[in-house]
Every structure is written in C-alpha cells, then in structure tokens.
Amino acid sequence: MKRIPEELVSSYESRIAKEEFLGYFFQNSSIYQRVITFGFLMKIIGGNLKPGDDALDAQYFPINKLPEIPFISHNKFITIIKKKFDL
C-alpha cells in the first residue's frame, strides 16, 4: 500500500476529484510476486501533469490513440472505460 500515495503525489501534480471506482485486479509479477491494481475514473480539475521519478515524460492521449500498454490490469481498465462510454 505504500506505493499508492507515493505515485499519486509524485506522478500527478494535477488536482483530481475521484469520480468512480472501476474495480481491482490481481496480477502475478516476476519482481513483486503478487500485485493488486485499483482503477478509478478521475476528473482533472486543475494543475499540471508531471512525470514521477520513474518516468522521463507524462502525457495525455486520446483513448483510441493510446501507445502500447504493457500491463494486463491497465488494459482491463481501458476496456471498462471504453464500454462505459461506448468507445
């Protein structure tokens, strides 16, 4: 649970408001053994998107023009959002 606040603070200097809980997924990891990922649909209400200490850049992309997403759980959240908004 330690990484959740750390990533929210360092990766997003935007102000965000939680809109909706999308769910959670368990995934096996060769590094961390078992990982749980929580997904939230968020609304940006101000601030600037900035990369955290583990990234060189941070950008927004249209949902139909996303770069390759390597994490299974993240792809599941994207699928949920596409279904929710008929995209």
As a three-state string, the secondary structure of the chain is: CCHHHHHHHHHEEEEEEEEEEEEEEEEEECCCEEEEEEEEEEEEEEEEECCCCCCCCCCCCCHHHCCCCCCHHHHHHHHHHHHHCCC
Q: What does the mean pLDDT of the chain come to?
A: 80
Q: Which amino acid is at 56?
A: L
Question: What are 36-57's pLDDT values in tens digits?
Answer: 999 988 877 777 888 888 888 8
User: Is the full-model pTM beyond 0.85?
Assistant: no
Residue that has been written with the tokens 């999308």 in this structure: 22
Instruction: Give backbone dihedrals phi and psi of 73, rounded to 5 degrees, phi first.
Output: -65, -40
Question: Can you give the pLDDT at residue 78?
Answer: 94
Q: Is the pLDDT of residue 65 over 60?
A: yes
